[in-house]
Amino acid sequence: MRAVVVYESMYGNTHRIADAIGAGLETAFDVRVVSVSQAMPEVIADADLVVVGGPTHVHGMSRASTRKAAVQAADKPVGGLQVEPDALGPGLREWFGSLGDYPVRAAAFDTRMHGPAMVTGRAARGVTHLLRQHGFEVVAEPESFLVTKQDRLEPQEEDRARDWAAKLAAGITSS
Closest CB to ligand FMN among residues 14, 128: 14
Q: Angle of helix 157-174 relative to helix 13-25, nearest 10 degrees? A: 40
Q: If we measure between CA atoms, which residue out of 1, 83, 3 comes closest to residue 44?
A: 3
Interactions with ligand FMN, residue window 98-117 (CB under 6 A)? 111-113
Dihedral, CA of residue 29, residue 134, residue 33 and residue 149, to nearest 10:
-120
- Give CB contacts under 8 A, 24+ apart, made by 69-74: 70/10, 70/11, 71/10, 74/10, 74/11
Q: Which is nearer to ligand FMN, 27 or 120 (CB)?
A: 120
Q: Which stretch binds ligand FMN (CB under 6 A): 3-11, 19-27, 44-52, 97-105?
A: 3-11
Q: Tell whether residue 9 is a contact of ligand FMN (CB under 6 A).
A: yes
Q: Are 91 and 8 in contact (CB under 8 A)?
A: yes
Is residue 35 a contact point for ligand FMN (CB under 6 A)? no
- Our finding on whether 66 is near ligand FMN (CB under 6 A) is yes
Using CB under 6 A, which residues numbered 133 to 172 contact ligand FMN? Answer: 147, 151
Which residue in 30, 41, 45, 58 binds ligand FMN (CB under 6 A)? 58
Nearer to ligand FMN (CB atom), residue 70 or residue 169: 70
Q: Give the integer Cα–Cα distance in Å for 32 and 35.
A: 10
Whole-angstrom Cα distance, residue 47 to residue 152? 31
Q: Which residues of this protein are in contact with ligand FMN, per CB under 6 A?
A: 9-14, 55-59, 66, 69-70, 73, 111-113, 120-121, 147, 151
